[in-house]
Structure 1
Amino acid sequence: MRVLKFGGTSLKNAERFLLVINIVNIYLKNEKIAVVLSAPANITNILEIMIDKSIKKKNYKKDLIYIQNFFINLINDLKKNIKNLDINIINNNIKKIINKIEKLLHGINLLNYCPDMIKAKILSQGEKFSILILEYLLKIKKYKIFIISPKKYLLAYGTYLESTVDISVSLKNIRNINLSFFDIILMPGFSAVNKEKETVLLGRNGSDYSAAVLAVCLKAQCCEIWTDVDGIYTADPNIIPNKQLLKFITYKEAITLAYFGAKVIHYKTLAPMIQNNIPCIIKNIINPKYSGTIINNFDVNQYILPKIKGITELKNISILNISGNKNKQIKSIIARILFFVFNLKISIYFINQSSEDCNINILLSNKNLDNLKILLEEEFYLELQYKLIKSIKIIKNLSLITLVNNNINHSTNIISKFLNIFKITNINIYTISQNIFQNYITVAIKEKYAKNIIELTYKTLFHKEKILEVFIIGTGSIGSTLLKQIYKNKCYFKNKNIFLKICSIMNTKNFLFNFNGIKIKNWKEEIKHNLNNTIENLIRNYNKYKFINPVIIDCTSSQKIADQYVNFLNHGFNIIATNKRANSSTIEYYNQIRFTANKLNLNFYYETNVGAGLPVINTLQNIIKTGDKLNNFIGILSGSLSYIFGKLEDGIILSKSIKMAQEMGFTEPDPRTDLTGKDVARKLLILAREIGLKIELNNIIIEPIIPDTFNKKKSLSEFFNSLSELDIIYTKKIQEAKKDNKVLRYIGSINSQGECNVKIRKVDNNHPFFKIKNGENSFAFYTNYYKPYPLVLRGYGAGNDVTAAGVLTDLLRLI
């Protein structure tokens, strides 16, 4: 024997009824079955609306006509597929149920009141429609059918609207029926009968509970709950589109998921099956061949299951907080509180208490809370007066976020990662609880943050995604190239479980923000329509949400942006900078950035400040970390100047060499930035500070490529026109160097006394920089370990691609 229960979505139209018939036909080839039915989708809700309208003397006739027409249309649609269906017989019986409902509603209308007994009678009619239709469809197939009337066989105790079946009595009642002559047993769900022979309801998801009870009474091999989803998922599909289906789950896990908000099955349904060890299977009527989710006591091989079974949200929660001084009467206090809670019929989810300081947190549903507070303040008037109880507070608009996994208390790594999400996002946890079964941890937080936390938890713990939330400032050559590289590598990121979303793009004119991620493909078009490109606006938008790993990438050369780094850190951003301004500002600001980053456990990466994509700073930091000491350093620190001096060597005049470097993207749009030597000096300053030298930019001796007078030219065209004045000078310098078999290189150096200078040098073929030209950088570190031959790094140190790649390398260090 197998029990099949079909819910409202499985009966919402003629097409679904025909699917039910097909499923029944398949099962009957192998075994007898019992079928429990809900009311078709929304019918019970409409019945409840009509009751409310009747009490308020509003017109409910339209709703009644809607129900009647719904079933007439459904029967007519069935007739199109089943030619020998006698629609008159079915419609007449439907009319009888409609008339019964109408009489009861008329009585309510006269009384302006609906007793729960009458409400139970009306709400139980929806399932009768379903049974009536399915019975006729099965009789056409010549099946022998027995209908179990809940009013005759299922005894229950409780209220009219929320009762529990007495399984021992009901089992005896059903066992007395001789069912051996029948192929199919039908039973309407949701209702039962009390000792007074009155109809009572079985509460929320009552039809599922009816099926579970019938499975016990019939000693069924299993109970199948048919719905419109494939089974139980690890998370709400409305929040997590890429959720996982749980093929197997234990009763204990299923009850916990259901209790804390999973909507596929109600925890009350599982209790009878647990006691009688009857497996429960959740199946999809649209996809009947799929195995669904199997719920039983056997925990199958953990390697075929997701390690964590699910994350749920339970909304509309409040906390009743009683805080006081150390009190030995805490049990008495709780008992007095619960007296009022139960009288007001408020649901309790759990209680957390601390006997040491008399702090009690009771997790409640949002119902009658204002009345409860008034009653408790009256009850504890004296305790409040004499400060035995400090306060009685109700914290509203909360959600419970619950992580479910067997033996979760032993999974310290899971718990720490889960709780770390709240720490990183700075979301307050009001209370936290774990149960004695050790299969869940639940936290209460503000409801507005719940979706965000579920998404972050799922990415972190279920998919084990490394999260990067990127805010890009500057969309010039490097910023634009970086966005291209991120887009190009999206498949790589996905394969490596890296969830990288661009949350903000800002330039000198526009600002674009999207918490869910900007579509990189269209960013240039989108950003045109968004102004207000201020740092204040960026921070304002950032503060509206909670981020787990936010990072600002500064692709500008702006001092104004660099001056905001401490502010960025204080707001929780990591920072990646191609901008050298912060690291070459005053030593006080330089130290302040590092102090703030260390204090807040945030990262400040700036590998591209020197050498673009070459690991220069990382190499130098590792030299220091290993206890080595830098004695001397020399370097060609500018890719643009390397290119220019290479062209000079090839016989190209200075003015043309500079123009070529600009067109190739080696220099800034205004090449004077490179030619003053200050950019190289900034890089040298950054390296000097890495080894502990407390110096400023003005401590570095600089020999510029061009005289200071050239920087005073007003326009770029004026500058290029006057460059010819220097062509003869540099041609002569190159020729003089060649006479000595040497070449010119622009080199920055740090000597053993800590003196730093940047100047043009002649080097011969024994020098490590003799062959460095055409955009290459080279860095030679002379240390205690690397002597007499230095540690040399060599490669292209300029260009948009290598610089953007260096930024991407820094970005991936954050995971």
Structure 2
Amino acid sequence: MSNASLHGAERRDWHVYKFGGSSVGTPGRLPRVLSLITEAQRPITVVVSALGDTTDWLISAARAAASGDSAGSSAELARVQSLAATIASTVLEGSVLTAQQATVDQLLAPIERLLTGVELTRECTPATLDEVVSVGERISSELVARALTARGVRALAVDARTFLVTDETAGSARVDIEASRAKLAPLVSGWEGVVPIITGFIARSHQGRTTTLGRNGSDYTATLLSWLLGARHVTVWTDVPGVMTADPALVRDAYPVPRMTYAEALELAHFGTRMFHPRTMIPLLESGAALHIRSTTEPQAPGTRIDAEGNPDPHRPTSVTSLERLALIHIESLRPTLSEPLGLRVLQALEAAQVTVWGGTLSALAPSISVVVPQAQAQKAHAVLEAALRAERDRHEVRVPPPHSPVTLVTLVAESMGHRPNVAGRFFHALGNVGVNVRAILQGASSRSVSCAVDAEDTAVAVRTVHSAFNLNETEINVLLVGKGTVGGRLLSQLAENTKTLQARHGVALRLVGVVDSRRALFDPTGIPPAEAGKRLAELSPGSASPPDVVPLLDRLSRLSVPVLVDCTAADGIETLYAAAFRRGIHVVAANKKPLARPWKESEALHALSREQFRAWHYETTVGASLPVIETLKNLVRTGDRVERIEGCFSGSLGYICHALMDGVPLSQAVRTARANGYTEPHPRDDLSGLDVARKALILARELGLELDLEDIAVEPLVPREHLDVEEPEAFLRSLTSLDADVSAQVARYRAAGRNLRYLAQILPHAPGGPRVKVGPVAVDAEHPATGLKGAEALVSFFTDRYREFPLIVRGAGAGGDVTAAGVLADILRLAQNVRGRR
């Protein structure tokens, strides 16, 4: 406790409460305020703000009067009077209510006369405005004191102008602490046994004129009072549950920071957090009092405690601020050195012109710098700098390009930054990983914050990304699932079974927010329990469009953190949906091969779009279901290995069919069973034609950089081509019975020769005459790796410089809803880990 606090008052453990305008001026909340005061430990002083929007209305009344609009001025005063009457009627009645209304009239009468003078002179000076707006807190103080008294709590309305002494600065006066202490001392003795209800925001100058304390003035009054009284605790009651980890309007998962230091609060104040003003913190720094931010509507919540110690937890949460409507001005030096440090001259010029500088790359010896200024002052700042650097500009030594706007200053504030490595690295890695373009890295003297300027359109994704990287125990992934067939249905089941485990063990919070089938679309940004998704979707009426238009859902999905479109369809033309997703900042996870098998230029353009937008496109399941075929090939290429040949049975469905044929099962029955088990494409013709394997081979060939198209692949179907013209799947299956005898006879000949029927793909990137890819049925001998395949197994062999003698083989279940869904889920988790980065 400060030794400079009031002598005598030190012996009393004062507590200071402060209630904001929304707490006292919103209908229904004042009774809660009165209860909090009644239940509080004594002795207590209470600081109150003006009711609701009263201060804004009083300012509007003064401006209207200054413009000669007497009717407008009177209307604004009437709003003040009406709100005061409305709030009073919720806590007072009878003669006490009448007395309060008379007090309001008495307080407003001189303001009405003052505004009449303003109307006549057409001028409202800052000093006059201070007098006008002071009436708001005085009304509030009288009302709360009278309401407490009516409830049996002795209370006293106290005008802070009786003890707070300031200089003559209108609008943002400076307090004379010693003079204020001297005036307060004789008043305190009269507060014995009563609750003083003190006006916030207002004071009186040495010359006796009404002054105001500026932004967050009532908070400043409360912390000043705590300093003067020697109080150890100040509680600011507001309409939020504490200092939030981010703006809840941008980050749905923002939550209160339980503890922070004075220094962290000062950093937040500097970077635009409306809850704080640096002057509010000064009395706390002097006195050592703790400041609590708590919610009037959630009084049971602990809120945020601000003191010298802060939070000792090394993993304590941090705050992310976003200061918007700014402009970035870049000043470039075209010479290694100038006669004077460039940064110093820039700052001096802007300060002289009274341009606010929120931050910048302000190293005085830097050859070029950037500064962030309010967007409204951008053109003025640009003109000031052009004039200040005119000589250097004329000699072509300095360039001052036009301002870049609008930008947002995104700042991470945390005391822990100075105690843990790689905080800044994680900050910029997180932003870069989601494609946010950092326009400037802004430096400060403190190790408690790191800032950067980003384009205004990237504000939401930047804040959410940084918040997720530093404040969440898990990475939240929001999934829109398109396709609820075999694979999509199994994916929903796996999500239902594994969501809690993924969150607890792997730090990934998977939220299903949408499901789309061929007739209906369901979307709920708050999340859909995967186990209920099918039922909820079925309850919807089919839309007029079939399939539904998914693009409007992408707009909603893009506003969520880490949005992912998951494609479990086999639909044609869905590449346009991928493009729309990438342009909206949405990642794509797909089990659909068709977009990857589009003509080379189209497929490459889609890949380029995903890279340009910094969106992931994962499609491991398009070759080998859940087997790591594509990632294995990518790693070989990344590490510089030379792939000589890729060979294998790429299709689990054809592998199953071939294995059944070798066991003596007729062709038509083998295909029908494979389809019933979910191994085949929706139309088994795509498997038996070799088209599905050809697409897979094409995908792998393109991963090698081969500019091939589907027609470049030599394809031999498993069945005669004339059978492939049957459009209806069931009719197609029936047509296969005519082939049963011939196929069984051919398989018997293979068995007799010691061979096995397999449907192979072969990719030869360096074949004479150019790359060659072929797929078709082959009778392999007993030495071939594919001979041992059973059921729906798939196999891919990579022959490379490093794996020349013994190929690198990937083998396992290559078809089926469960394994493919597991592969899709693995792709989603890989995306989550990439977004999460290093913790």
Q: TM-score range by the shorter chain?
A: 0.7 to 0.9
Residue 813 of structure 1 aligns to a residue in which SS? helix
Match of 1:441 among 430, 437, 450: 450
Amino acid at match of 1:296: D
CA contact (8 A) 1:37 1:188 kept: yes
Which segment drifts farther, 141-150 or 2-11?
A: 141-150
Give the structure 2 partner of residue 56 of structure 1.
67
Output aligned runs, 1:30-41, within 5 Å: 31-41=42-52
Asked whether 1:812 is paired with 2:829, we answer: yes
CA contact (8 A) 2:346 2:385 kept: no
Q: Which deviations, in whole Å up to 9, do the C-alpha atoms of 1:146-198 show, x marking residues without a partner?
A: 66543332211252111111112211222344616622333211111122211
Amino acid at match of 2:413: V
The alignment's TM-score, normalised by the length of structure 1, stands at 0.81
Inter-CA distance 279–612: structure 2 relative to 1 (3 Å threshold): closer
Q: Which deviations, in whole Å up to 9, do the C-alpha atoms of 1:346-403 show, x marking residues without a partner?
A: 4333454354465444433344554555565556555544445432643443322110
Q: Partners in 1 of 2:528 and 2:648 — Cα distance?
A: 40
CA contact (8 A) 1:576 1:604 kept: yes
Output aligned runs, 1:229-248, within 5 Å: 229-248=240-259
Residue 235 of structure 2 aligns to a residue in which SS? strand
Asked whether 1:318 is paired with 2:335, we answer: no
Amino acid at match of 1:730: V
Residue 122 of structure 1 aligns to a residue in which SS? helix
Q: Partners in 2 of 1:320 and 1:624 — Cα distance?
A: 43
Give the structure 1 partner of residue 817 of structure 2.
800
Residue 102 of structure 1 aligns to a residue in which SS? helix
Q: Partners in 1 of 2:758 and 2:410 — Cα distance?
A: 61
Residue 364 of structure 1 aligns to a residue in which SS? strand
Residue 225 of structure 1 aligns to a residue in which SS? strand
CA contact (8 A) 1:632 1:781 kept: yes
Give the structure 1 partner of residue 183 of structure 2.
173
Give the structure 2 partner of residue 408 of structure 1.
417
| CA deviation after TM superposition for structure 1 residue 232, in Å | 1.5
Q: Partners in 2 of 1:257 and 1:222 — Cα distance?
A: 21
| CA deviation after TM superposition for structure 1 residue 134, in Å | 2.8
Residue 441 of structure 1 aligns to a residue in which SS? strand
Q: Partners in 1 of 2:15 and 2:623 — Cα distance?
A: 72
Q: Can you give the 5+ residue segments of structure 1 that lack an aligned partner in the other structure? A: none
Match of 1:42 among 53, 62, 81: 53
Inter-CA distance 745–313: structure 2 relative to 1 (3 Å threshold): same
What is the identity percentage for the equivalent residue pairs of Structure 1 and Structure 2? 25
Q: Which deviations, in whole Å up to 9, do the C-alpha atoms of 1:50-77 show, x marking residues without a partner?
A: 1122222331333333333333343333
Give the structure 2 partner of residue 675 of structure 1.
688
Residue 163 of structure 1 aligns to a residue in which SS? coil
Give the structure 1 partner of residue 671 of structure 2.
658
| CA deviation after TM superposition for structure 1 residue 211, in Å | 1.3
Q: Partners in 2 of 1:698 and 1:373 — Cα distance?
A: 59
Task: Tell which structure's C-alpha radius of gyration is larger.
Answer: 1
Give the structure 1 partner of residue 192 of structure 2.
182
Amino acid at match of 2:463: I
Q: Partners in 2 of 1:595 and 1:11 — Cα distance?
A: 56
Match of 1:263 among 274, 283, 286: 274
Give the structure 2 partner of residue 120 of structure 1.
130
Asked whether 1:161 is paired with 2:171, we answer: yes
Q: Partners in 1 of 2:395 and 2:801 — Cα distance?
A: 73
Residue 226 of structure 1 aligns to a residue in which SS? strand
Q: Partners in 1 of 2:370 and 2:642 — Cα distance?
A: 58
Inter-CA distance 742–633: structure 2 relative to 1 (3 Å threshold): farther
| CA deviation after TM superposition for structure 1 residue 679, in Å | 4.4
Output aligned runs, 1:218-367, within 5 Å: 218-303=229-314, 306-325=315-334, 326-329=337-340, 330=342, 333-334=345-346, 337-338=349-350, 340-342=352-354, 346-356=355-365, 359-367=368-376
Q: Partners in 1 of 2:558 and 2:807 — Cα distance?
A: 51
Inter-CA distance 655–131: structure 2 relative to 1 (3 Å threshold): closer
CA-atom RMSD in angstroms: 5.2
Asked whether 1:103 is paired with 2:121, we answer: no
Q: Partners in 2 of 1:57 and 1:783 — Cα distance?
A: 87
CA contact (8 A) 1:700 1:758 kept: no
Q: Partners in 1 of 2:689 and 2:158 — Cα distance?
A: 95
Output aligned runs, 1:490-529, within 5 Å: 490-495=499-504, 496-500=506-510, 521=533, 528=543
Q: Partners in 1 of 2:644 and 2:393 — Cα distance?
A: 72
Inter-CA distance 383–708: structure 2 relative to 1 (3 Å threshold): closer
Match of 2:227 among 195, 206, 216: 216
Amino acid at match of 2:98: N
Q: Partners in 1 of 2:631 and 2:348 — Cα distance?
A: 64
Amino acid at match of 1:3: V
Amino acid at match of 2:119: N
Residue 216 of structure 1 aligns to a residue in which SS? helix
Which segment drifts farther, 150-159 or 546-555?
A: 546-555
Asked whether 1:453 is paired with 2:462, we answer: yes
Output aligned runs, 1:343-492, within 5 Å: 346-356=355-365, 359-367=368-376, 369-371=378-380, 373-374=382-383, 377=386, 381-391=390-400, 393-409=402-418, 411-466=420-475, 478=487, 482=491, 485-486=494-495, 489-492=498-501
Inter-CA distance 16–713: structure 2 relative to 1 (3 Å threshold): closer
CA contact (8 A) 1:327 1:357 kept: no
Inter-CA distance 515–27: structure 2 relative to 1 (3 Å threshold): closer
CA contact (8 A) 2:713 2:775 kept: yes
| CA deviation after TM superposition for structure 1 residue 293, in Å | 1.8
Q: Which deviations, in whole Å up to 9, do the C-alpha atoms of 1:742-800 show, x marking residues without a partner?
A: 78532538799999875354878x99877855544467899999999999876542233
Residue 119 of structure 2 aligns to a residue in which SS? helix
CA contact (8 A) 1:512 1:527 kept: no
Q: Partners in 2 of 1:627 and 1:281 — Cα distance?
A: 59
Which segment drifts farther, 549-558 or 691-700?
A: 691-700
Q: Which deviations, in whole Å up to 9, do the C-alpha atoms of 1:326-353 show, x marking residues without a partner?
A: 42234773465135422xxx43334543
